[in-house]
Amino acid sequence: MFNVCPNCGMYQVDKKVTIEKSKTVAICSHCQNAHPFQKRPLLFLTGASGAGKSTIGLRIQQNCKDVVVLENDILPFDKMPVSELALRIAKNIHQNGKSVLQVGCNIPEHVEKSLEKRYFDGLHYLALVCDSRLLVERLKARPKWRGCDTESYWKPQVEFNEWFKKFHDKVTPKIDLIDTTNLTIDQTEQYVKNWIQDKLTKNLD
């Protein structure tokens, strides 16, 4: 719906985004129609499997009404790149006045080149990390049917967990970190809430 020009009906993803008369607009290159829209920050909660993303994402969904929480798992992988589809969905949700918190194994490399990025007032990343030994313990404690207790599963997750620790401040944009090793679930939830509020408040200033 959003990518179809309401004036000429042409479909275009890479519209020019600018400000006209104090309003953010997307300009159709075919007819030059300027369509106003809400340009809001898009938030990502990321980390390795076992870091606590799903647990905290569910808590935020239940206890924080400032964002709409979406998980990568609901996206059809066979239709288009997940990052592109995730941003397209978020862009449409933002028109209802709330930012999206996307929960999944996202890193800037997967998202920053998306054509849809132009429709957001910044993309912000927060990674949950923990001690690697604790990560393995969490994965091995999962139900057997999930297959998370094998080295072939947990070893790549440990490497991903360590990648966030080593490179979070070397990518663009930088990834904020919360080390959950010595935190309770309640404490982690509060830290994530504070981070969300900080990103949304800066958008309003």
Q: Tell me the per-residue pLDDT of 64-74, one tens digit each, with 9 for 90 and over.
A: 999 999 987 76
151 and 114 within one domain: yes
Q: What is the average per-residue pLDDT within 80-104?
A: 87
pTM of the model: 0.91
93 and 13 within one domain: no
> Which alpha helices (DSSP H) does 23-131 contain, by range?
53-63, 82-94, 108-111
CATH of the domain at 138: 3.40.50.300
86 and 26 within one domain: no
CB 38 within 8 A of CB 25: no
Q: What is the average per-residue pLDDT within 9-29?
A: 92
Q: What is the average per-residue pLDDT within 14-37?
A: 93
Total domains present in the chain: 2
Residue 22 has pLDDT above 70, yes or no: yes
Mean pLDDT of the chain: 91
Nearest 5°: phi and psi at 115? -65, -30
Banded pLDDT at 91 (limits 50, 70, 90): very high
